[in-house]
Amino acid sequence: MSPLREPCMPILSIVIVNYNTRDPLRRTLESIFREQGDLTVEVVVVDNASKDDSAGMVRAQFPSVIVVEPGRNTWFSGGNNIGVARATGEFALILNPDTVIQTGMLQTLLAYLQARPHIAGVTPQMRGLDYSLQRTCSQLPQYIDMILGYTFLGALFAGWRNRRRAIMWYQDWDRDTTRAVEVAPGSCILARRDLLLSIGVFDENLRLYFTEDDLCKQLRDAGGELHFVSDAVILHQEHSSIQLVQRLASQIYFDDLLVFTRKWVSAPASALLGILIAPTRVLMDIAQRLRGESRSV
């Protein structure tokens, strides 16, 4: 049984990190307050120095929302760490600002987690704004998956790569049943806030990518399973922030890949991977530069 909470303490804190996504953020907040029902919900928005007056919009239109402005871009990991530390709820929902809560989602996830003390975190079925299924959740990537996925060796051993990729992404699962998974998407994951704090929430050496892989591994190492709950549904407009700075995001992706490899495999393995992915990084950057994509925030 959960410990007693102070009368004013919300059961659920929703933490949203925002970067120049004012209109999607407005839609997300509207859906939260529309669908919260009888839940006592606290919403914390961490705005990473947006230039579109996202913070001003939230203060004007959603006065109950706690707005935190670090004054710089703390990225996904840093912003969520700030938000979870500022939150006071028993449970914390890490949520992207480009999502739309569907009827009963919050209640279903919360009830599922409350009834199962051995579960560390839960995530809902995710669909696009057009209700098309998004095949979220995966197994934790292994070193060979990184080699095959991001270097020329993947082209040489395409069959092997594709077979491993199919297994890692649960290709034989249609996301229509509830089950345990290894990695849940960081765009929507609910966990007990004290558990998140006990593992340090997100590793800030990972700015944007492999953050959920790292978090979910730590949650599972702490002794809890992660479950995909098919009865809960959320809509998600993917990459609304990243598309603004796609060239920079691509380079951060490779940087985070190497950080993740160094942390969970070894420094020599990360160094070797860095050498092998160098041609891919260069060619991708040239192509993106020719398309006029930005490397600045």
Q: Where are the domains of the chain?
A: 12-130+177-233, 244-290
Amino acid at site 95: L
* Residue appearing with tokens 């990190």: 17
pLDDT value for 248: 76
- What's the rounded Cα separation, in Å, for the pair 115 and 186? 22
Tokens at 181, concatenated: 């998974």
Band of the pLDDT at 241, cuts 50, 70, 90?
low
User: Which of 228, 277, 232 has the alpha carbon at shortest distance from 257?
Assistant: 277
Q: Does the pLDDT value for residue 1 go beyond 70?
A: no
Element at 145 (helix H, strand E): helix 143-150
Q: Which parts of 15-97 fold into alpha helices (H)?
A: 22-35, 54-61, 75-86
Q: Does the pLDDT value for residue 27 go beyond 50?
A: yes
Q: How far is CA 103 from CA 106, 107, 186, 200, 234, in A?
A: 8, 9, 21, 31, 9
Q: pLDDT digit string (tens) for 185-206?
A: 999 999 999 999 999 999 999 9
Amino acid at site 17: V
Band of the pLDDT at 286, cuts 50, 70, 90?
confident
Q: What is the mean pLDDT of the chain?
A: 92
pLDDT (mean) for 251-279: 96
12-130+177-233: CATH superfamily:
Spore Coat Polysaccharide Biosynthesis Protein SpsA; Chain A (3.90.550.10)
Q: Does the pLDDT value for residue 125 go beyond 90?
A: yes
Band of the pLDDT at 280, cuts 50, 70, 90?
confident
pTM as predicted:
0.92
Alpha carbons within 13 A on the beta-carbon side of 82: 22
